[in-house]
Structure 1
Amino acid sequence: MSNHSLNYSTLPGYFEHDEQPEGPQFRATTLPGFGLIHRRYDTDGDSGHEQTQWERFMHFLNHLNKEASDQARYKLIFVMRHGQGFHNVKEAQVGRAAWEAKWALLDGDDEMTWADAKLTEKGKSQALEIKATLERDIREMKVPLPGKCYISPLARCLETTRLAFSGLEWPRDQPFKPIIKEALRERLGRHTCDRRSTRSWIESNYPEFKIESGFTEQDELWQPNYRETLDEHVVRVRQLLDDIFNSEESSVISFTAHSGAIRALYALTEHKEVWVAPGAMVPLLLVATPQ
Structure 2
Amino acid sequence: MDCPGPSLFPLHRCKTLHLVRHAQGMHNVEGDKNYKACLSPEYFDAQLTQLGWQQVDNLRRHVRTCGLSKRIDLVIASPLLRTLQTAVGVFGGDSYTDRTDALPLMVANAGNSGRAAISSLNSPPFIAVELCREHFGVHPCDKRRNVSDYQFLFPAIDFSLIETDEDVLWKANVRETTEELTARGLKFMNWLWTRKEKEIAIVTHSGFLFHTLNAFGNDCNPLVKKEICNRLLSFCRILQFCSLDLLTTTYSLFLFIIFQQKWSGNVPFLFKSALKRGEKEMLEPFLSTKFKLKAHACPTTYINDCSFGPLFLCFLLLCCGL
TM-score (norm 2): 0.60
| CA shift in 2, pair 1:92/1:12, >3 Å | farther
SS at match of 1:268: coil
CA distance in 1, matches of 2:41, 2:245: 40
SS at match of 1:116: coil
- Specify which of 143, 147, 152 is matched with residue 195 of structure 1: 143
Unaligned stretches of 5+ residues in structure 2:
95-119, 218-224, 250-322
Q: Which amino acid aligns with 1:219?
A: D
**Residue matched to 1:16:** none
CA contact (8 A) 2:47 2:81 kept: yes
Give how far 1:192 is off: 0.6
SS at match of 1:88: helix
**Residue matched to 1:64:** 10
CA contact (8 A) 2:23 2:235 kept: yes
Correspondence 1:91 to 2:20: no
CA contact (8 A) 2:20 2:238 kept: yes
**Residue matched to 1:153:** 79
- Specify which of 165, 174, 183 is matched with residue 91 of structure 2: 165
Give how far 1:204 is off: 0.4
Correspondence 1:241 to 2:241: no
CA contact (8 A) 1:181 1:212 kept: no
**Residue matched to 1:253:** 200
CA contact (8 A) 1:144 1:252 kept: no
Q: Which amino acid aligns with 1:228?
A: E
Give how far 1:174 is off: 8.4
TM-score (norm 1): 0.66
Structure number with greater Rg is 2
Q: Which has the higher contact order (CA 8 A, sep 6+)?
A: 1
| CA shift in 2, pair 1:104/1:205, >3 Å | same
**Residue matched to 2:215:** 268
Q: Which amino acid aligns with 2:23?
A: G
CA distance in 1, matches of 2:133, 2:61: 26
CA distance in 2, matches of 1:207, 1:226: 32
CA contact (8 A) 1:199 1:215 kept: no
**What CA RMSD, in Å, does the superposition of the two structures yield over aligned residues?**
2.8
Q: Which amino acid aligns with 1:134?
A: V
Q: Which amino acid aligns with 1:106?
A: S
Q: How many residues end up aligned between the 2 structures?
A: 211
Give how far 1:143 is off: 7.3
| CA shift in 2, pair 1:151/1:198, >3 Å | same
Percent of aligned positions that are identical: 24
Q: Which amino acid aligns with 1:285?
A: C
Give how far 1:132 is off: 0.2
- Specify which of 236, 240, 246 is matched with residue 279 of structure 1: 236
CA contact (8 A) 2:16 2:242 kept: yes
Deviation sequence 1:224-272 (CA, Å, 0-9, x none): 1111111101111122122221x21222111100001111221233352
Q: Which amino acid aligns with 2:229?
A: E
CA distance in 2, matches of 1:286, 1:137: 21
**Residue matched to 1:127:** 56
Q: Which amino acid aligns with 1:116?
A: D
CA contact (8 A) 1:84 1:123 kept: yes
**Residue matched to 1:115:** 44
Unaligned stretches of 5+ residues in structure 1:
1-10, 14-40, 43-59, 67-72, 109-113
Q: Which stretches of structure 1, 4 residues or more, deviate above 4 A after TM superposition?
A: 172-175
SS at match of 1:179: strand
- Specify which of 97, 102, 105 is matched with residue 39 of structure 2: 105
Give how far 1:12 is off: 11
Instruction: Trace 1:164-243 onto structure 2 (pairs within 5 A).
Output: 164-167=90-93, 175-243=123-191
Q: Which amino acid aligns with 2:10?
A: L
CA distance in 2, matches of 1:91, 1:143: 32
CA contact (8 A) 2:178 2:211 kept: yes
Q: Which amino acid aligns with 1:179?
A: I
**Residue matched to 1:31:** none
Give how far 1:173 is off: 11
Q: Which amino acid aligns with 2:155?
A: P
CA distance in 2, matches of 1:217, 1:12: 47
SS at match of 1:78: strand
